[in-house]
Amino acid sequence: MYNFFVIATPIGNYKDITIRAIEILKELDFIVCEEEREYKRLFGYLNIPPKKFILCNEHNEDEAISLTIELLKKGEKGGLISDCGTPLFEDPGYKLISSIRANNFKITGLPGPNSLILALSLSPFKIKDFYFVGFLPRKLEERESKLLNILKRKEAIILMEAPYRLPNILESLKKYLKERRVFIPYNLTMEDEKLFYGSISQVEKQIIESNVKKGEFLIIIEGKL
């Protein structure tokens, strides 16, 4: 019998939730989540009564760990969800999971939506190997220094970025990308989903012409042939 579950939730379309995830979410005594708003929105859609919840973010992970271990020691069953998708991809919670294991509680994961894997499956590139970077530094000099280093790699490169920083990352990529193409999926699984593909200049033009609003995206840079 498991004490704690790492649960994948939809990345945009709530209909993508798995049957098993719904069953487990109903059974849990408490939820560990990034934001109260997203947790309540998901549970409202699924018509599941609100549970006790513990917020876990970059500012309070130690406190969240203490509260979680305390509840588990009382015999309660809990689960971790992120704002969307599969937890622990550029999300808080690594220390939490390590601490739960260190206290000899049994953990399992519930597979489901993952924007990274979906983006790879939709990519127009032949991808054998890829290098997952995650988020680049916010400061311009640090961001461009890291870009220069990772662009030396031969594998396909996968970047994540906050919605409002898309123009900044495009400007940086324009400086250093030459023949390598990019693929940028926007708002995957949502009604306004769009897939942009081509040279960085072509993709920038497509994005401007599409007049997309602030949304979720990934950037896949083609590997060197």
Structure confidence by residue, pLDDT tens digits, 82-108: 999 999 877 778 899 999 999 999 999
Tokens of 57: 């973010």
**pLDDT 10s digits, 181-195:** 999 999 999 999 999
Task: Report which of residues 224 and 186 the model is more confident about.
Answer: 186
Tell me, yes or no, whether 69 and 137 share the same domain.
Answer: no
Mean pLDDT score, 74-81: 97
**Of the candidates 59, 36, 56, 40, which has an alpha carbon nearest to the alpha carbon of residue 48?**
40
In this prediction, residue 42 has a pLDDT band, given cuts at 50, 70 and 90, of: very high
Look at residue 122 and give its three-state secondary structure. helix
- Between 57 and 69, residue with greater pLDDT: 69
The predicted model gives 20-47 an average pLDDT of 95
pLDDT of residue 172: 87
Neighbouring-strand partners of residue 185:
195
Residue in the block written with tokens 């939820």: 31
Q: SS3 of 186, please?
A: strand
Same domain, 72 and 94: yes
Per the structure, how many domains does the chain have?
Answer: 2
**For position 224, what pLDDT does the model report?**
83
Same domain, 76 and 146: no
pLDDT of residue 157: 95
> 167 with 182, same domain?
yes
pLDDT at 80 over 80: yes
Where b means 16+ CB within 10 Å and e means fewer, 9-32 reads: bbbbeeebbbeebeebbeebebbb
Alpha carbon distance 215, 164 (integer Å) = 8
pLDDT value for 189: 96
Q: Do 87 and 128 reside in the same domain of the chain?
A: no
**Residues spanned by the domain of 85:** 4-110
CATH code: domain of residue 141: 3.30.950.10
pTM of the model: 0.90
Q: Give yes or no: residues 193 and 180 share one domain.
A: yes
Residue 196's pLDDT is what? 97
* Banded pLDDT at 175 (limits 50, 70, 90): confident
Query: Are 119 and 106 within one domain?
Result: no
Stretch 189-206: mean pLDDT: 94
pLDDT at 214: 80
Q: What is the pLDDT of residue 180?
A: 86
- Residue 74 per-residue DSSP state: T
Co-location of 102 and 190 in the same domain? no
Structure token digits, residue 117:
């894997």
Burial class (CB in 10 A: 0-12, 13-18, 19+), 6: buried
Q: On the CB side of 112, how many CA atoms lie within 13 Å of its CA?
A: 26
Q: Kindly give the residue spans of alpha helices, DSSP state H, lying in the chain.
A: 19-27, 36-46, 61-73, 94-102, 115-122, 140-150, 166-176, 200-210
**Angstrom distance (rounded) from CA 222 to CA 225:** 9
Are residue 91 and residue 134 in the same domain, yes or no?
A: no
Interval 144-167: pLDDT, tens: 899 999 999 999 999 998 888 888
Clarify whether residues 126 and 105 are in a common domain.
Answer: no
User: How confident is the model over 166-188, as a mean pLDDT?
Assistant: 88
Asked which of 77, 94, 110 is the last residue of a domain, the reply is 110
Judgement on whether residues 48 and 139 belong to the same structural domain of the protein: no
Residues 54 and 83 in one domain: yes
